Chain A
Amino acid sequence: MIAVLGRRASNAVDPDAELLARLRRGEEEAFVMLAARHHAAMLRLARAFVSSDAIAEEVVQDTWVGVLRGIDGFGERSTFRTWLMRILVNRAKSTGVHENRSVAVGDAGPVVDRARFDATGAWMSPPQHWIEDSDDRMQAQALSDPLHAALGELPPRQREVVILRDVDGLTGQEVCEVLEISEANQRVLLHRGRSHLRQALEDELVLR
């Protein structure tokens, strides 16, 4: 089975297809369920573009109005989620965007401090062990606050990619479609973002 790039494989089922069909028949409940399903992810992404929670809420509402207006034009060449997030990104951009977005802060240089390696490139100050094998849930709790904080520190473009990929579980290709970036660019941003989050957890959890 060869999937044509930029399109879904024809046998892949869009998880939103059923609700979408019901929405097209005019079912209010289907709309509310779709909104509920995507709301948190939309807010997170919107918040990466605009400067306040209130504006992010507006962008999300605005996006749904756009969805309702454009639903008949949705050709299902992408998943509903990808289409939805693209509308959101466009609305967010036209609403007003962080001033420092275009500056590629933190998009260059090594992801681990050079001083941690010796002259041959081998670890001199290696990563300290902080992974708890005992209780996954406890660990998730302990990591949640520092992760939220570290996500907030990421340059916007890295934050957008990490949120879409790792928080909301989009595929790399979906992220490229939503943000209109190349796969190579997506991977660089993801790499820098993830590396920063790991470092933040190490800083938080390892007693120095």
Chain B
Amino acid sequence: MRLLWQKDGYVCQEMVELVTDYLEGALTRSERRRFEAHLAACEHCSEYLAQMRVTIAATGRLAAEDLTPDMREDFTELYRKWRAESE
């Protein structure tokens, strides 16, 4: 079993290149199995994957920004101008 794993397994350097394909579900079933087998045996790559997940989640929290009242006015004006021109 161990021998088999060594023969077919990914090394850490390959793992960091496959992380996105793994998270995107783009690995084949056998690639996915090998990826997860390495994860189960390697705390560093598990840490790396966890950090990628936190990074993605934190990037997703950069989004929230609302329109300022000024911008609302700009867009109202833009709309009225367009209406006036298209009539």
A168 to B21, CA, bound (A): 20
A64 to chain B, nearest CB (A): 6
User: Is B63 a contact of A169 with CB atoms below 8 Å?
Assistant: yes
B45 to chain A, nearest CB (A): 8
Task: Tell whether A198 pairs with B51 under 8 Å between CB atoms, given A28-B76, A61-B78.
Answer: yes
For residue A55, CB closer than 8 A to chain B, the reply is no
Q: Which of A64, A112, A127 contacts B13 (CB 8 A)?
A: A112
Q: Mostly helix, strand, loop or mixed at chain A's interface?
A: helix
Q: How many residues of A contact B (CB 8 A)?
A: 50
User: Is B82 a contact of A68 with CB atoms below 8 Å?
Assistant: yes
- Give the bracket for the number of chain B residues in contact with chain A: 35 or more
User: Is A131 a contact of B62 with CB atoms below 8 Å?
Assistant: no
User: B29-71 interface mask toward A, CB cutoff 8 Å, 1 = contact, 0 = none?
Assistant: 0000000000000101101101110111011111111110001
Q: Which A residues between 128 and 145 are near B, CB-CB below 8 angstroms?
A: 129-131, 139-140, 143-144
- Residues of the B chain whose Cβ atoms lie less than 8 Å from the Cβ of A32: 72, 75-76, 79
For residue A194, CB closer than 8 A to chain B, the reply is yes
Residues of chain B touching chain A, judged by Cβ–Cβ distance below 8 Å, are 11-14, 16-17, 19-21, 24, 26, 42, 44-45, 47-48, 50-52, 54-56, 58-67, 71-72, 74-76, 78-80, 82-83, 86
Residues of chain A touching chain B, judged by Cβ–Cβ distance below 8 Å, are 26, 28, 31-32, 35-36, 39-41, 61, 64-65, 68-69, 110-112, 114, 117, 120-123, 126-127, 129-131, 139-140, 143-144, 147-148, 151, 162, 166-169, 172, 187, 190-191, 194-195, 197-198, 201-202
